[in-house]
Amino acid sequence: MKTMILTLAIAAGMALPALQANAQDAGADAPLTDRMAPEFGTLDTDGDGALTLAEMAAAAAARFDAADTDGDGGLSVAEIAARADARRMDGLAAMIADNDANGDGILQADEMQRGGRDRMARMFDRLDADDDGAVSAAEFAAARDHGHDRRGGHDGTRGGRDGKHHRGRG
């Protein structure tokens, strides 16, 4: 019984990121991880427009079973790494497809820079606190310190978006 509960807890933990990402509105401009999450309709197996705990547990169990390639009821380092590698490869293929303007299946420098320039401009706008078109050393340091505060310091806490602190890993 304890083994079954532990297995379900692990499987639920594996499904949680996908379920959280699916709860967000995942449009074309959504982060890659949101677009890779299962569709609501896939999780809503009875089609009633609502997710039950049983449906969520079934999705988690299916993900666990898919990762357990040798069928021994457990996940080895190799199985977890293989699952992570497959997801990473899927993500990279999607990134290439999203940015491959000429459709040749590879990214040229100008295709990579197109998206990078947009991200860099957004980051620059955040850094340029006084909107003078330049980032001073003080603005740079303030942004670095703000990032450090959000990630947490030496006290083991991690700052959340809502200002609350959550226990970090170490």
DSSP string of 33-45, one letter each residue: HHHHSPPHHHH-T
What is the distance between the alpha carbons of residues 158 and 86, in angstroms, rounded to a whole number?
A: 30
Task: State the average pLDDT over residues 109-134.
Answer: 84
Report which listed range, 10-19, 33-42, 46-55, is most confident: 46-55
Task: State the average pLDDT over residues 124-150.
Answer: 88
- Give the torsion sign (CA, 153, 154, 155, 158): positive
- Give the torsion sign (CA, 72, 75, 76, 78): positive
Task: Give the DSSP letter of residue 163.
Answer: S
What is the distance between the alpha carbons of residues 67 and 167, in angstroms, rounded to a whole number?
A: 28
pTM for the whole structure: 0.45
What is the distance between the alpha carbons of residues 64 and 22, in angstroms, rounded to a whole number?
A: 18
In DSSP terms, 157 is beta-bridged to: 167
Quote the mean pLDDT of the chain: 75
Question: Between 2-23 and 53-67, two packed helices, what is the crossing angle to 10 degrees?
Answer: 100
